[in-house]
Structure 1
Amino acid sequence: MYLGLDLGTSSLKALLIDDTQRILGSASAPLTVERPHHGWSEHDPDSWIAATRKALAELANTHASELAKMRGIGLSGHMHGATTIDKDGKVIRPCILWNDTRSYEEAAELDADPQFRRLTGNIVFPGFTAPKLKWMAADEPEAFSRVAKVLLPKDYLRLWLSGDAISEMSDSAGTSWLDVGKRAWDDGLLSATGLERRQMPALVEGTERAGALRAEVASELGLPAGIPIAGGAGDNAASACGMGTVGDGHAFASLGTSGVLFAANNRYLPNPDSAVHAFCHALPGTWHQMGVILSATDSLNWLSRITSTKPSALTAELGDTLLAPGPEVFLPYLSGERTPHNDAAIRGGFAGLGHESDRPALTRAVLGAVCFAFRDSLAALAQTGTVLTRVTAIGGGSKSDYWLEALATVLDLPVDIPEGGDFGAAFGAARLGLIAAENADPLAICTAPKTETTIHPNRDLTGAFDEAYHTYRALYPALKGAMS
């Protein structure tokens, strides 16, 4: 038996699999984000431990005998969080989360230092870990002076489980302290934020053993003492392990609250100027790239709120047949945009509205805009030499065949829909736990699910969507100029 623990922003999920990778059960416990000031977003790290206890207690109610046979644990978690620990192993302050924007000035200052993009292959975004520590040094100097270790969220969970301060490559690549090509901490990057290598956790690959379960915790959780804990992965890399997106050129498009176009690579292919993330993958000798859209299904959710109509009802109004784009164009920058603009200040808008612009027309424009944003990411990936031949769709938006046909047509790529099942980050973490415990072949374990169906581009509408995309592209600089 193998356990995957996925520490999310809103909940912690525990998922149990056997040696055939059959899912035996899962449980989750909610988490609360604290926002004490505008732009702040924090978690109490102790709430992660309480949530783990709660989820495993729930799982033990129905699977106690299976938990007693556990052979390995894998960890996944939301990336970029700054969890600061003092010399006694105590948390210094609440964890500053990935969606916290307080350190935007520090991020810009670090990004202006050319060594950061050169070594990390990424823009220094406000959500990354390094600017948060630079903010802490300036605004909370007493607390900063007590920092003995900086841990990513899932690695604080590991510290509780095993007593070891260890991280792995995929999560650490999102800190702005890792030389992503060399897969190692860089002293110069650390020094730029007033830190030293001794304050960083040790590094392993995601498939390697990274600590063992302490007897005290094992007894409390009903698990065998001493079982190995895998290095694990950041949440997107863990999801890729769950989806089998580990081979060169394999890709998925995640239509979630935010949108991610994720491509696995067998070499390091940075392109920071395009705001594409280039991170280490969870498997040794592999990397991945991500184009990130900040408001994917969140754009449809916004339209749902202002029209008092459920998202499913909005898409149902469009029918089953894909329509050509109308004159209405939407820009989905409700929270700014990551790829390709790296613009936290830009906001969304409609153009081309007329008296005839009804609710279905607005829905069609919103769905199309998210597809166009994915096309921006596809173009950014292509600039690095990453050429995709197909993508697998995941996330809540993938339940709309209309939306997926629009996406296939805009990207000019077939879009695969996997068979039903849970292939997310918790499943990927459990797979990594299995690999670490049994020294298994990662490629033999991290296989892709069967494809239930494939949606192909609608060639009759390719020209119309191309024309609408070029209009969409022209509107960003116009809107940016108007807002400046």
Structure 2
Amino acid sequence: MIWLGVDLGTQSARAVAVAEDGTQLAVGSAALHGDREGARHVQDPAHWRAGVRTALRALAGELSPAQRSAIGGIAVDSTSGTFTILGADGNPRGPGLMYDDNRAADRVGAVREAGSALWEKLGYTASPSWALTKLSGIVHTDPDLLAARGNRLAHQADVVTAMLTGNPRVATDSSHALKSGFDIVHLRWPEALFDRLGIPEAVLPDVVTPGTRIGELCASEADETGLPRGIPVFAGMTDGCASQLGSGALAPGDWNSVLGTTLVLKGVSTELRGEPTGAVYSHRGPEPGTWLPGGASGAGAGVLSGLFAGAELDSLTAQAESAEPLDCYPLAAQGERFPFIAPEAYGFVGDRSLGAQPLDARAVAEFGAARVFSSVLHAVAFAERLCFDLLATAGLPVHGRVRIGGGGTKNEWWNQLRADVLGRRLERTVNTETAAGMAVLAAWAAGDRGLAEVAETMSGVARVYEPGGTRHDDQYAAFRAALQNRGWLRS
């Protein structure tokens, strides 16, 4: 059998076809573009659908007729906390509010107060960029949008699965619903919380567990994509969870670190544990008794495309190896949510003796491309170490394997630097496509084997990075001090 996974990221929609043994048979993609301005970050939901259609059409074109007929299912992941409002006809009633849109940050206090009992039970709390916080903001800025008959909340993946199945009221999954306030312990929407916030219950979709069959590819989308009608469509998970499944690191204490536009860490635990600031939260695993704790940072490789557009990154890397890094925090947009929560945080770079300035083209001109490039790569590694420090402090098991994926792993020197800074053995996965995790989920959902067994069969390790003799402790201490001096990191 062949399994399809779809990933809706920040910059692209990607689809992969994966065989039972993990062989990647076909890939399709389409660019996605957003609109950023300060705390605002939106995309057009129509582009999510168009992008997925383009990606699936390209994928179908790479498969033979026999391969297309052997497709056993499809699942979709998307960025956590991204949503829009769909009308009764399934069409968007407004823009897609992205995972890091922080315009409703001033509502987070009310959200935390309204759900204080829930947050205490779950072990974490809402953050300024959560979908629930944004919904609370909409109540005050555009209440008619939520009150209109037939309008409902649709996470980014739901917009696509509604299209694929032809069902405008398709169920969402508990993974995507988490940041919308879903109670993942009792698997229900907490009515009292939404009543206190003035969010109509009618806007909330039905919720199922990941891997639940929610429909099948409808005739119109079969015609649009070139895929066979009737392919089972399974409820997916968020992008961080998808990467976790695709990595094969599914034993308690294992972690998967995905370095793309942002840095996302997900691990495995047998008990629900949180962290009071809300920087760490746990998804319920697809299988009973498993939890996938972790968090998603705003730091990552996303700043590189803006700072070094058109540059030869291999050459920059060679120069960066001998360049002394500056104090830096690598944010492409305002606000941070993991390993600390600071809506006011911004990207900066600079020498401690000279102060710091925004991480932009002027900084590259002042300090030189090689030094700023080195600073960003080191800062991401330090942010990753800070993430693991926070996870350990929260009492989560961090003793197992650490697998890495994402576009950032194409830089071999960066991989080794991360291993050195963490003092951990890192395993780069063979298939770095986030969408492959959804192919794993679909294969598990349609079969009778355990998830870890399916994932291990469909994943593998391409290369191992052993830590060197230094962890850059002095530079890491300076990195923490720079964050503490700004009031972003409080311990």
Partner of 2:236: 232
Partner of 1:180: 184
Residue 155 of structure 1 and its aligned partner are, at CA, apart by 1.2
Superposed CA RMSD: 2.9
Residue 243 of structure 1 and its aligned partner are, at CA, apart by 1.1
Q: Quick check: 89-98 or 237-246, which moved more?
A: 89-98
Tell me the distance in 2 between the aligned counterparts of 1:120 and 1:26. Answer: 38
Does 2:44 align with 1:18? no
Does 2:452 align with 1:443? yes
Residue 294 of structure 1 and its aligned partner are, at CA, apart by 1.5
Match of 1:166 among 160, 171, 187: 171
Contact 2:102/2:343, CA 8 A, preserved across alignment: no
Contact 1:170/1:282, CA 8 A, preserved across alignment: no
Q: Quick check: 60-69 or 159-168, which moved more?
A: 60-69
In the alignment, residue 126 of structure 1 is paired with which amino acid? P
Identity rate, percent: 25
1:58-112 Cα distance to aligned partner (Å, 9 max, x none)? 3333325132343211111222122212344443222222122221112333134
Residue 343 of structure 1 and its aligned partner are, at CA, apart by 0.8
Partner of 1:157: 160
Tell me the distance in 1 between the aligned counterparts of 2:39 and 2:293. Answer: 27
Residue 337 of structure 1 and its aligned partner are, at CA, apart by 2.7
Partner of 1:366: 376
Tell me the distance in 2 between the aligned counterparts of 1:327 and 1:397. Answer: 18
In the alignment, residue 151 of structure 2 is paired with which amino acid? A
TM norm structure 1: 0.86
Tell me the distance in 1 between the aligned counterparts of 2:304 and 2:51. Answer: 31
Contact 2:325/2:374, CA 8 A, preserved across alignment: no
Residue 362 of structure 1 and its aligned partner are, at CA, apart by 4.7
Q: Quick check: 339-348 or 309-318, which moved more?
A: 309-318
Matches within 5 A, 1:66-215: 66-113=67-114, 114-115=116-117, 117-146=119-148, 148-162=151-165, 163=167, 164-175=169-180, 177-215=181-219
Match of 2:474 among 467, 472, 477: 467
Partner of 1:267: 271
SS at match of 1:428: helix
Partner of 2:424: 413
**Structure 1's 468 and 274: CA in aligned 2 closer, same or farther, altered over 3 A?**
farther
Aligned residues: 467
**Structure 1's 217 and 472: CA in aligned 2 closer, same or farther, altered over 3 A?**
closer
Q: Quick check: 444-453 or 76-85, which moved more?
A: 444-453
Tell me the distance in 2 between the aligned counterparts of 1:243 and 1:45. Answer: 29
Partner of 1:457: 467
Partner of 1:286: 290
Contact 2:282/2:293, CA 8 A, preserved across alignment: yes
Residue 302 of structure 1 and its aligned partner are, at CA, apart by 5.9
Structure 1: runs of 5 or more not aligned: none
Tell me the distance in 2 between the aligned counterparts of 1:264 and 1:81. Answer: 23
Contact 2:126/2:278, CA 8 A, preserved across alignment: no
Tell me the distance in 2 between the aligned counterparts of 1:33 and 1:475. Answer: 30
Matches within 5 A, 1:240-255: 240-255=244-259
**Structure 1's 369 and 134: CA in aligned 2 closer, same or farther, altered over 3 A?**
same
Residue 316 of structure 1 and its aligned partner are, at CA, apart by 0.7
Tell me the distance in 2 between the aligned counterparts of 1:297 and 1:221. Answer: 32
Matches within 5 A, 1:6-85: 6-34=7-35, 38-63=38-63, 65=65, 66-85=67-86
Residue 9 of structure 1 and its aligned partner are, at CA, apart by 2.9
SS at match of 1:272: coil
**Structure 1's 452 and 24: CA in aligned 2 closer, same or farther, altered over 3 A?**
closer
SS at match of 1:233: coil
Structure 2: runs of 5 or more not aligned: 355-366
